[in-house]
Chains A and B, each alone.
Chain A
Amino acid sequence: MATKKPTNDAWAPWAFFIAILIVWQGVCTGFAVSEFIFPSPIAIVKSLIEFAGPIADHAWQTFWTTLAGFGIGVVVGLLLGFIIGSSRFMYNALYPLMIGFNSIPKAAFVPILVVWFGIGTVPAILTAFLISFFPIVVNVATGLATLEPELEDVLRALGAKRIDVLLKVGLPRSLPYFFASLKVSITLAFVGSVVSETVAANKGIGYLMMSAGSSMRMGLVFAGLIVISAMAMVMYVAFAALEKRMTGWATRGMDSRQ
């Protein structure tokens, strides 16, 4: 039953997507909405085709800066998560600071980064990093810190060292948390890089939308929006698939219970 349903429902999001496009187009043509205010889907597609070359160029810039920032985020997030999750002292010492840091809107860092590194790619990468590493830290740390004390006793009574327990139990145990956080982080990384590009760049989708907006080419602005969401969605799906592949054991238990 659980395996049949999703295949039957797979068409549903597409149907709704198409329905929304139709209504959107209907509203735009029906009420003769100006293309400078709210372009219709057809106008957006036209812009997409017309500016395919430049859009691809800017999209590539956004894509790799996002991935670079996300990559740094994964490395730093894993390291910090491992440190915080494996020691009670470090947990108590660093966790409140992390919460404090996370409550700062990351867009507020962009002006500082521009002063330090100038306008361009570096602030975009760093903003993507700053916004994306936190969920990874929290998830990895939680996975490590919530180890069952009984299991730890079983292993420690055998003479297991801390590192043994962490590698044999803690790390595999935190993997589902880690992979779940990757999905969230990659979409956040796109937010970071695009925000930075709109303020301080001369390349990238964020910059493209900003300059298209200032010359009232709304079709192009919306085309940029769609390209970003497409990229973020593809990456989300990719990481969701990776999660399922790597840590299927964490959810299969639930499937069998249904």
Chain B
Amino acid sequence: MSQAADLPAEAPSARVLVDFDRVDLAYDDTGGNAIEDVSLTIREGEFVAVVGPSGCGKSTFMKLVSGLRPPSEGTVIVDGREVSGPIKIVGMAFQAPTLLPWRTAMDNLMLPLEIVEPYRSNLKQNRAEYEARARGLLKTVGLEGNEDKFPWQLSGGMQQRASICRALIHEPKLLLLDEPFGALDAFTREELWCVLRDLWMEKRFTVILVTHDLREATFLADTVYVMSRRPGRILVRKSIELPRPRDLEITYEERFTDIVLELREHIGRIRKA
């Protein structure tokens, strides 16, 4: 069922960035595994989406990649090194924008630079340069002119845009998105799909997107992984071979809906089982 052919759709770089080898993660309280026997590789510049029923350990998967939790069994290799703690080359954004309410949009973007090296040490000297970068990033996502606004002065969609910018300001190799558009209305969500698509097309960082939305996964990703119910296993690996750049119109074409339906069937089977 899963497509074994490893066809690099757009990003020809063959370098592996993330490598999971038979990874288990046991939760200490329940005894059961949150994630079981997960093996996968993600190439540099690849856009990966992980879908599955709720509570299937998708967020746990993110914690393993970012090094926030160590695996119980197996190995996680990111950027050539086995992960044993926070890997510092990731940017993260969640369903809640989690902006700091006492900082302006601009200062919120600067937060990762105050934490992560080498920016942390040279922030004082290069402040102007970094602020220009933040301004540029805000402009790309359509937040130009909102630099000095506080989060409560921005709409939900605008806050989420700023949150994604914050995840990208330190130019991470790996962007982790945990249902970032889940709380937005349908129109804003599709708008932000395009924002993310454009950002990715421009900068070609590696993305892991966790989502419930199969259309979102199909529209954005190179590869979609379907996870089973807890304990989470990878059931299907599906390469999305739609041409890029993709426009929203493609979501109404048959070849697109065929893929969504196929993914939907897998999820349906899991839910019945």
Contact assessment for A158 and B88 in the assembled complex, using a CB-CB cutoff below 8 Å: yes
User: A88 at the A/B interface (Cβ < 8 Å)?
Assistant: no
Q: With a 10 A CB-CB cut-off, give which of A151, A154, A247 has the most chain B CB atoms.
A: A154
A residues with a Cβ closer than 8 A to B are 148, 150-151, 153-160, 164, 168-169, 172-173, 247, 249-250, 252-253, 256
Contacts of A153 in B (CB 8 A): 63, 66, 68, 92, 94
How many residues of B are counted as interface, with CB atoms below 8 angstroms from the partner's CB atoms? 30
Contacts of A168 in B (CB 8 A): 111, 114-115
User: B150 at the A/B interface (Cβ < 8 Å)?
Assistant: yes
Contacts of A169 in B (CB 8 A): 100
**From B119, which residue of chain A is reached at the shortest CB distance?**
A158
Expressed in whole angstroms, the minimum distance between the Cβ of B239 and any Cβ of chain A is: 28
Contact assessment for B96 and A157 in the assembled complex, using a CB-CB cutoff below 8 Å: no
Cα A155 to Cα B99 in complex, Å, equals 12
Contact assessment for B86 and A157 in the assembled complex, using a CB-CB cutoff below 8 Å: yes
Expressed in whole angstroms, the minimum distance between the Cβ of A241 and any Cβ of chain B is: 18
Contact assessment for A159 and B98 in the assembled complex, using a CB-CB cutoff below 8 Å: no
Pick from A156, A164, A249: contact of B150, CB below 8 A: A249
Q: Mark B224-247, 1 if CB is under 8 A from A, else 0.
A: 000000000000000000000000
Contacts of A154 in B (CB 8 A): 92-94, 98, 112, 166-167
Contact assessment for A159 and B115 in the assembled complex, using a CB-CB cutoff below 8 Å: yes
Contacts of B178 in A (CB 8 A): 150
Contact assessment for B66 and A157 in the assembled complex, using a CB-CB cutoff below 8 Å: yes
Contacts of A157 in B (CB 8 A): 66-68, 86-88, 90, 92, 176
Of residues 157 to 215 in B, which have CB atoms within 8 Å of A's CB atoms? 166-167, 170, 176, 178
Cα A248 to Cα B88 in complex, Å, equals 33
Q: A249-B102, A256-B153 in contact; A158/B68 too (CB < 8 A)?
A: no
